[in-house]
Structure 1
């Protein structure tokens, strides 16, 4: 049987391994000193050009395979093998490599969000979609929490920056993280890799097999087991927390139906258990904004003991272990067929399920005390989605003899979410007297059952008209229809009469329901100019659209039954893509200006004396800046990569909600999770040794300026500027398929906060994995 002509089959794992690796770092001094060697080597021998040229990079940013340098979109591409070597296994770990990408962590996957160019959505509501879309092999993830999956068996990750609503849909108004998995190999390949890191006893084991199983039939299977004890101590029971336990598997089968069509069936499953605490207390005082007034809370500080709040605290004192049990799974079926006149039909059917159970110690204390109630939460999520995309793509360059090409299609997505959330509250009304007395207490509770159903359909298309060999006009549009409905019912216990019906942190019983619909229009127009084979420029205008939303959450009120307006964006982007020095240097630049209207964000409200956050149309915000990406092969064995972003993301006009529990004087202030400056440098140097062995040195350094983590602009939720340096040394023998590396993370032992949050009497931080220096070893064997 002949192989189809649809696309070349890539190997499951290239063997021998490529010498170019971004997993390791070298010092800046080494990179500078190599510049003279680079110039000398350039002048020597042009016969070595192919060996020293950068490899071509192919992306699917325009829904078909094209050269990175020809796509008029700002894209960062991360190679899957390099991510594995660098032990970067989650989307959150990519933020140090892509300066325009940021990640909000949390005690539960529900609390996580991705940000591109300073814009993202912070909400646990199932009634709001992400601003940054995560797509796996053509299937978009409808909830932000789903994107915490492990990067298992990945060919590459493409980060598309700026609104991508024309081709990728409504939940891509700030950007897209496009994950492309490996195809099964055309020849038998097997591997096993193992890594172990100190600073919390982190272990990761993977194994896989890939290859043909019959004529025209190829398959792959990869399994994963990983665990980490954590780098935070709970003094209440002397346990280690802030860790994880993961078990996962991914399988794929590709079947060449005939010479013109192919079917690919892929399935993945990941089960994880995290014990990330609800923050580690750094301060027991709060700084008001904008007055700067400092309020101390000595009672909370005393109850927290023996833990002492500090900026680098790594201890908690909680009588409930905050844990999250998570199951993320999916199946996709992709059909591709070569049509007449060079056209290609692609149909992708995707189903995904997500189950999440979280237990949270909301009071962060070992027991209730007078004036400090105990609050323990239990929540469950049962979420499913079903999607279908059908599209047709013309051949690149021309169609039916005309100088045009295009992509057009239909997409539909249906989601169903069912959640239960219960809060148990214990209040002390007197401290009691006598030895062993605990005083008088009341146990109260509230429970909410709620959920959403959504349905969206879209027609989309984008075409390019090649005016001449060097000028191209592009235009695209997307029409989207949204429907969203919700139900919510909350019950609660009856408190003692002396409390006048109030339970701290629990609203009164309520039953709510609602629905909304909207029509969204997004699109893109632009002009591209190819100066020569190695240099091109582009100018585009694009409009993004994010659908209507409901603020559906545990403490939902009647006012939350009003739908939020859709969020829209208008963006202008100019870019330059270039290769120099016989393609040994790749330099890409983008400048952009994006304005968002009806920005959907969380702000502060008060419920029975407790400050909470609620989703609102916060007004108008903007993001402007410039991005630079550089890749260089300095010599045959020395590669260097760098990225730099300046992102000025600001609140332009804030829409202050009624009863706001914080100052609305935030116009002109930065958007949360968006440092103005962020950059990274990566490098590797390979030495040839006797017997075909190779020694590889390298590392990466990432730096960012100060960042505000809270839209309320508090002085105590600002993380100062910091940099993290990682380094490694690896010994490998490609001919025999093995590689062993010694790795050190956070060489300079820099402590920082990946997130800072405020409570009623404290500030807490989320402790990142690399909050301290730690060492590890990685080993891999291909056979």
Structure 2
């Protein structure tokens, strides 16, 4: 039976530690033969039970993601409360957020506040992290600053993806899924021994889907916001001795799709009668032939582990090549406004990690190592506005080339003092030496205003110390409380936007978080019930954000946006009620606000009485975007034994609910999504030998319309308000077949 993976939960800083303690003290004693499976994670660079890890971690197994038909990063929010993905005009414009914090900027010279590590290697950029979840063993979501052990930055949290390893025995299988809008998902794998000391695994996937946004333009018809991608992963595991293992890993991912058109909600001006609009509108009227987005990612990894006594020496070497292209010309108007808005990015990344891990049974156990990181981005960008936009007398645009090279050398370590069998104290330190170099040149097109610095070269060198202190104590063999304080770090960010020439700093200052956390890990009813909870408070200084000058056309630039704070409560429950009935729930209540953010851009139409002075407003005390105050995820599965048949049946349901949420940094009152809930249901059969399963599923069973983001524009563009819609903005029905041999 598929065992859903447990997940941790979040917290608001209130006096609720006593409430958590009261729950644990009054939990009834109950005995059942059914118990929850142990969850193994690598959140501290060693394999541990989730219940023994004194940080806020949620883990979702690959089996659960497959059972729920969720193979995109954006769908994790329906399994992990407090995890959100900000919609964008393409992969490189999206942003992952944890506890309401993530990096949202058009500049490609800045790294994400939420890092992504795949098979031990940090992703070279946001595009490289938006992989398909096929053949994944588990996905771990680590909340709070995580740069201590995981290579680089991760000031707000980390997405740690672990793909499946080669098996001892020969196994192979495939999956085929079909749903509305011609959605097709295929995946296959083969794994096993090639020789006595050699194992291998190869997996492939392909995803296709027709566009979900219809173009009603009579001259250029078609559907946009489709899905078209494929990928492969190959692993070769060499084990010449009992002490030595060498894992060679190659991954390739490709995307080629037209994205991301935003249908209009409100339209004014001369085109109001021909542009479809409305609250649930999914149609556009565009002259363009699509906004192409392509991504091509190749990752090469060599991991060597050598056991010396009870200790392990690990070396991880990686090279990543990422190439992306986009030409996002969609404006929502049936006339050509953006003749060109293309960008080509070529990113090469090299990492090297050396790590020494001692036995966890020592009085003082530790992980220590050296880390080297080099990332080079070469970016070519063109933007051309036509005179059709009100306020422009002639063609306006630019052509720009940017090169950003980031280097990082670090010493890191975390030691745990086992004071007694039930009490432990951990200390982590990381020293970073960061160097960021930016080289830019810009060419003005006819009619464009002059840039003050057509060429420039800047280098910033920064040193920092990050640290973490954790105390933990077991009140019983199955319950542990912990308290921690951590100071994180996210390195300097380079401004690759041409409009950045007018900003004060071509390379902005580092982003520094400080996190306080109090948590509980516990199991009850002889292992049938798992309860994890924590409260947290995090403050960020010099948060890196994208700002706009509110001109026409708008010019964006990177800047330090002052400070912000996020605080809340996270709770996770998992209950194996009987051998065939499982229930789980997780919730996050989060208050994420700008603590200090003077000089933010105004929203369209904002008046002086509403706080807009000179095109700027003070957002201090206002909400961070893409962070609902409350999010809840529920899951239930009931297995039905069919004694006289060669298969069993099951019913399952998942429900995601979130409070209203602000979708724009500028806190525009028009860009608030009301609270909503989504229910996914499934009915399936599984052979008793586990060789095949067939599932009929329904996404968004109650046909609840919702939006994943908004965009606002000035009245000069005609479209006042537009929205992002996801595939399941309406009810979708599908069927899936899975075979494993």
2:9 matched residue in structure 1: none
- Secondary structure, aligned partner of 1:427: coil
CA contact (8 A) 1:332 1:348 kept: yes
- Secondary structure, aligned partner of 1:356: strand
Q: Distance in 2 between matches of 1:475 and 1:691?
A: 56
Cα-to-partner distance string for 1:154-173 (whole Å, 9 max, x where unaligned): 10000011111211244211
Query: Which of 122, 135, 144 matches 1:140?
Result: 122
Give the greater-gyration-radius structure (CA). 1
- Secondary structure, aligned partner of 2:730: coil
Query: Which of 194, 197, 211 matches 2:176?
Result: 194
Give matches, 1:152-167, under 5 Å. 152-167=134-149
Distance 1:630 1:657, change over 3 A: closer
Structure 1 gaps of 5+ residues are: 1-17, 24-40, 285-296, 431-439, 496-500
Distance 1:483 1:391, change over 3 A: same
Relative to the length of structure 1, the TM-score reads 0.87
The reply on whether 1:775 has 2:699 as its aligned counterpart is no
The reply on whether 1:217 has 2:160 as its aligned counterpart is no
2:315 matched residue in structure 1: 347
- Secondary structure, aligned partner of 2:507: coil
Q: How far apart are 1:441 and its partner, in Å? A: 9.3
Q: Distance in 1 between matches of 2:157 and 2:227?
A: 29
CA contact (8 A) 2:245 2:306 kept: yes
Q: How far apart are 1:120 and its partner, in Å? A: 0.5
CA contact (8 A) 1:230 1:243 kept: yes
CA contact (8 A) 1:77 1:158 kept: yes
Q: How far apart are 1:107 and its partner, in Å? A: 1.9
Give matches, 1:581-600, under 5 Å. 581-600=525-544
2:653 matched residue in structure 1: 699
2:710 matched residue in structure 1: 756
- Secondary structure, aligned partner of 1:257: coil
Give matches, 1:220-619, under 5 Å. 220-236=201-217, 237-284=220-267, 297-302=268-273, 305=274, 307-320=275-288, 321-340=290-309, 342-368=310-336, 373-398=337-362, 403-428=363-388, 443=395, 445-495=397-447, 501-502=448-449, 510-559=454-503, 561-607=505-551, 609-619=552-562
Distance 1:729 1:448, change over 3 A: same
Q: Distance in 2 between matches of 1:662 and 1:265?
A: 54
- Secondary structure, aligned partner of 2:617: coil
1:732 matched residue in structure 2: 686
2:14 matched residue in structure 1: none
Query: Which of 613, 629, 633 matches 1:680?
Result: 633
Q: Distance in 2 between matches of 1:441 and 1:141?
A: 44
Q: How far apart are 1:527 and its partner, in Å? A: 0.9
Q: How far apart are 1:640 and its partner, in Å? A: 0.8
Q: How far apart are 1:559 and its partner, in Å? A: 2.6
Q: Distance in 2 between matches of 1:429 and 1:562?
A: 29
- Secondary structure, aligned partner of 2:92: helix
Query: Which of 161, 164, 184 matches 1:182?
Result: 164
The reply on whether 1:102 has 2:84 as its aligned counterpart is yes
CA contact (8 A) 1:574 1:592 kept: yes
Bigger mean CA offset, 139-148 vs 150-159: 139-148
Q: Distance in 1 between matches of 2:600 and 2:634?
A: 43
Q: How far apart are 1:755 and its partner, in Å? A: 1.0
Q: Distance in 1 between matches of 2:295 and 2:97?
A: 22
Q: How far apart are 1:716 and its partner, in Å? A: 0.9
Report the number of matched residues: 702
CA contact (8 A) 1:19 1:637 kept: no
Relative to the length of structure 2, the TM-score reads 0.91
CA contact (8 A) 1:247 1:272 kept: yes
CA contact (8 A) 1:134 1:177 kept: yes
Q: How far apart are 1:549 and its partner, in Å? A: 1.3
Q: How far apart are 1:654 and its partner, in Å? A: 1.2
2:187 matched residue in structure 1: 206
Q: How far apart are 1:92 and its partner, in Å? A: 1.1
Q: How far apart are 1:512 and its partner, in Å? A: 2.2
Q: Distance in 2 between matches of 1:176 and 1:277?
A: 26
Q: Distance in 1 between matches of 2:294 and 2:385?
A: 23
2:610 matched residue in structure 1: none
The reply on whether 1:641 has 2:605 as its aligned counterpart is no
- Secondary structure, aligned partner of 2:488: strand
Q: How far apart are 1:62 and its partner, in Å? A: 0.5
Q: How far apart are 1:238 and its partner, in Å? A: 2.5
Query: Which of 81, 95, 99 matches 1:117?
Result: 99
The reply on whether 1:149 has 2:138 as its aligned counterpart is no
Q: Distance in 1 between matches of 2:697 and 2:159?
A: 27
- Secondary structure, aligned partner of 2:64: helix
Q: Distance in 1 between matches of 2:495 and 2:272?
A: 33
Distance 1:620 1:507, change over 3 A: same
CA contact (8 A) 1:551 1:560 kept: no
CA root-mean-square deviation: 2.2
Bigger mean CA offset, 147-156 vs 185-194: 147-156
- Secondary structure, aligned partner of 1:245: strand
Q: Distance in 2 between matches of 1:508 and 1:644?
A: 50
CA contact (8 A) 1:651 1:668 kept: yes
Q: How far apart are 1:366 and its partner, in Å? A: 2.4
CA contact (8 A) 2:134 2:187 kept: no
Q: How far apart are 1:362 and its partner, in Å? A: 4.1
- Secondary structure, aligned partner of 2:475: strand
The reply on whether 1:128 has 2:110 as its aligned counterpart is yes
Cα-to-partner distance string for 1:431-460 (whole Å, 9 max, x where unaligned): xxxxxxxxx996554211112011001100
Q: How far apart are 1:663 and its partner, in Å? A: 3.9
Distance 1:662 1:72, change over 3 A: farther
Q: How far apart are 1:666 and its partner, in Å? A: 1.5
Q: Distance in 2 between matches of 1:578 and 1:378?
A: 52
Cα-to-partner distance string for 1:367-426 (whole Å, 9 max, x where unaligned): 14xxxx44431111111111011101110121xxxx111000111110011111112222
Q: How far apart are 1:22 and its partner, in Å? A: 7.6
